Amino acid sequence: MIKMVATDIDGTIIRWDTGFSENVKACIKRLKSRGIKVVLVTGRMHRATTPIAYELRLATPIVSYQGGLIRDFSGKTLHQCNLSDDYAKKIIKWARENNIHINLYLDDKLYVEKDNDFVKRYTDGKFVTYEVCNFDDLEICNVNKILAIDYTDAERVTGWVNELNQKYPELYVVKSTPYFCEIGNPNATKSLGVEFLAKMWGINKEEILTIGDQNNDIELLKAGGISVAMGNATPELKACADFVTDTIDNDGFVKAMEKFVFNPQK
């Protein structure tokens, strides 16, 4: 019996352009009514995720920054894995040398060095504000993660992931959308975030369903007794999943819940 549903947000329960479907909202309400813990597990900032939790009326802790930060409904930090100051400085230097836009997250605040179209597009509709400044003027500490962005060239982003994984195999570097390269602490993964909460609640792996759509959800799927990829997921994620559901446009999340939670005998 499923006791916990750990779900990605963007591309899984939220459409990129139109937000939640009413069917997804109703499904999550139904899961809650059965006493199932629904946990948002995301690469987003914590503060960009709390409005979503409020809209869905979820009071469970949020796993943000790919697993780098877990805070409960009151805002209390339960678990945190920051990117080391030294590596953060190395990534900043690498980005400058290669003319790469990066978002720098310090203490759940977003900083950029240039106020360009990339950061405007990134923050649009995501409940996020940002500060433009020279990173040399900041104290580089308590770094949640660094996000490298190029909305114009997905292959370039893939190249960054490959380059950084080769250069810094001790870090967690992953492509979270075609345009995002995430850099974080090696222990800041979605799987470890889910496992932390499961242990806290006494829930076994076989009682967890995990669902996502991008390569950063490969780690998420590892934590589930049942792992589900969205129909719009990357080929790499589909290859890791027990089941591939329908796309987000066709309420694939809802269909997965019907199959594995509400009517598992079918």
In angstroms, rounded to a whole number, what is the distance separating the alpha carbons of residues 218 and 59? 25
User: Does residue 16 have a pLDDT over 80?
Assistant: no
DSSP per residue, the chain: ---EEEE--BTTTBBTTTB--HHHHHHHHHHHHTTPEEEEB-SS-STTTHHHHHHHT--S-EEEGGGTEEE-TTS-EEEE-PBPHHHHHHHHHHHHHTT-EEEEEETTEEEESS--HHHHHHHTTTT--EEE--GGGS---SEEEEEEE-TT-HHHHHHHHHHHHHH-TTSEEEEEETTEEEEE-TT--HHHHHHHHHHHHT--GGGEEEEESSTTHHHHHHT-SEEEE-TTS-HHHHHH-SEE---GGGTHHHHHHIIIIISTT-
Chain-centroid distance, C-alpha 126: 13
**Contact at 8 Å (CB) between 79 and 69?**
yes
- Return the percentage of the chain with pLDDT > 70, whole number: 99
The residue ranking higher by pLDDT, 118 or 17, is 118
pLDDT category at 47 given cuts 50, 70, 90 is very high
CA–CA distances in Å: residue 69 to residues 32, 80, 133, 202: 23, 5, 24, 20
| Average pLDDT over every residue of 230-241 | 96
Catalytic residue among 8, 150, 217, 251: 8
8 catalytic? Reply is yes
Residue 266 confidence (pLDDT): 59
CATH architecture of the domain formed by 4-80+188-262: 3-Layer(aba) Sandwich (3.40)
User: Does residue 241 have a pLDDT over 90?
Assistant: yes
| Average pLDDT over every residue of 260-266 | 85
Predicted TM-score (pTM) of the model is 0.93
- Write down the domain spans for the chain: 4-80+188-262, 85-184
Residue 145 confidence (pLDDT): 97
Select 85-184's CATH number: 3.30.1240.10, 3.40.50.10860, 3.30.70.360, 3.40.50.920. Answer: 3.30.1240.10
Task: Please provide the average confidence, as pLDDT, over all residues in the chain.
Answer: 95
pLDDT digits (tens, 9 = 90+) for 65-106: 999 999 998 999 999 999 999 999 999 999 999 999 999 999
User: Does residue 12 have a pLDDT over 90?
Assistant: yes
Indicate left, alpha or beta for 99 from its phi (over 0: left) and psi (-120 to 50: alpha): left
